[in-house]
Structure 1
Amino acid sequence: MKAILRAVNGKLKTVDNLVHGSNSEQPFSSTQDTLIKVSEEQLHLNNDGIESIRKRLLIGTNESTSVPSHITRVGFTAVTTDHQMNMGMDQTVQFPKIITNIGNGFDSLTGIFRAPVPGLYLFSASILSHAGNEVRCQIVHNGEGLVFIFAGDTATFSTGAKSIVLDLVKNDEVWIKIVHSDDNIFGSSWSSFMGVLIIP
């Protein structure tokens, strides 16, 4: 960088001499050409300096600040299709239509997500009740009910939703179950279940 500055200063001194009379006999057009040439050389030197700095920064980058070449990606979204009517206590809610299933952790046949890798996961479910009915669900982790979802209205449709963050090990299971007999869930993609790995 110091060498670049010295070169630029030398060129500027030449221009100063041309402008202030040490070579006053030199035609103006020649002086103008010299100024243009100096400007072009200075731009070239600046670009070289920037490239040199960029290379030094890249060489100085260590592994702790570099971006990993491979990041595990896990995530799914699934929705209901048919209405699920008169469901029994502890029955698993079904989400047969898969929108996203990166990592293949969600099983549309069982409605259960099985963690393909350990990590911190975010899960969310949204349930729509039939008009004038109530539905009560729970997000379950390895058989243990954790948080409840309620939807219901005496006259019209109603949606209940809940989200939860879970620290899972490989093959841990998460699903949605009914916690009250004879509840009904509206289908046609109105109810959904999703999960995503946020920290491996």
Structure 2
Amino acid sequence: CSRSRSLSSSVKMKSSWFLVAVLLCGLVSAQQGGLPERVQKLEADNDVLTKSRVAFSAALVDTNDWTTKGPLGADETLEFKRVITNIGNGYDPATGVFTAPVKGLYYIRVTGVAGPNGELHAGVKKDGVNMFAIYQKAGTQAGASNAMVLALEQGNRVYVQLWAGKTIADQGRLSTFTGFLVFPM
């Protein structure tokens, strides 16, 4: 009789351990089921953080000599040639265009001075649509500057366009185009 009780206890103990093992396997299996998705999300988040280092700043000319551009017969995209900063490589000095590498909120600023006998009027455009502008009257010594925070999608193009009949000048980085990612969205 005591042997029977001992055998019964042993069977109960083994079945309890079996039940614990089955439950643990089920928990591990359930957690592993979501593991690939969690890894994929973490990799995507890491990709956004890596690409979210975006900042550029460029001056109109790559010289310290006084240089005037314009007046021109038609609107023209300005190519800011002297690249000071281009983290993330979003700015292309050959075209004067900043292309947003990631979706996010960006701070964009343009500063300029007019040529000695001309008037400065230039617009900052996002994919061809005027977002804001700078203006300086002819014959003044003051510069013009303006900035805006823009929500950009990945691939949106931002550039500065000098309007027909207007001028812009530079010497020692007086006329600049600058932008940086405030935060990704």
Instruction: Identify whether the pair has TM-score above 0.5, normalized to the shorter chain.
Output: yes
Superposed CA RMSD in Å reads 1.8
2:68 to 83, 87, 91: 83
TM-score (norm 1): 0.61
Structure 1: 4+ residue segments shifted above 3 A: 68-71
Is the CA contact 1:131–1:158 (under 8 Å) kept in the aligned structure 2? no
Matched, 1:104 2:89: yes
| Closer, same or farther: CA 146–89 of 1 in aligned 2, 3 Å | farther
For residues 48-87 of structure 1, the aligned pairs below 5 Å read 70=49, 72-81=52-61, 82-87=67-72
1:158 match: secondary structure: coil
Paired with 2:168 and 2:79, the residues of 1 have a C-alpha distance of 10
Paired with 1:158 and 1:183, the residues of 2 have a C-alpha distance of 16
Is the CA contact 1:132–1:152 (under 8 Å) kept in the aligned structure 2? no
Matched, 1:166 2:150: yes
Gaps of 5+ in 2: 1-44, 62-66
TM-score (norm 2): 0.66
- Higher alpha-carbon Rg: 1
Is the CA contact 1:88–1:178 (under 8 Å) kept in the aligned structure 2? no
Paired with 1:132 and 1:178, the residues of 2 have a C-alpha distance of 16
Q: Which amino acid aligns with 2:170?
A: G
Matched, 1:136 2:116: no
Is the CA contact 2:121–2:167 (under 8 Å) kept in the aligned structure 1? no
1:104 match: secondary structure: coil
1:77-109 Cα offsets, whole Å, 9 max, x none, are: 000114312224321112001000000000000
| Closer, same or farther: CA 146–88 of 1 in aligned 2, 3 Å | farther
1:170: how far off?
A: 0.7
1:138 match: secondary structure: strand
Paired with 2:141 and 2:73, the residues of 1 have a C-alpha distance of 21
Is the CA contact 1:127–1:185 (under 8 Å) kept in the aligned structure 2? yes
Aligned residues: 131
Paired with 1:170 and 1:106, the residues of 2 have a C-alpha distance of 13
Is the CA contact 1:132–1:157 (under 8 Å) kept in the aligned structure 2? no
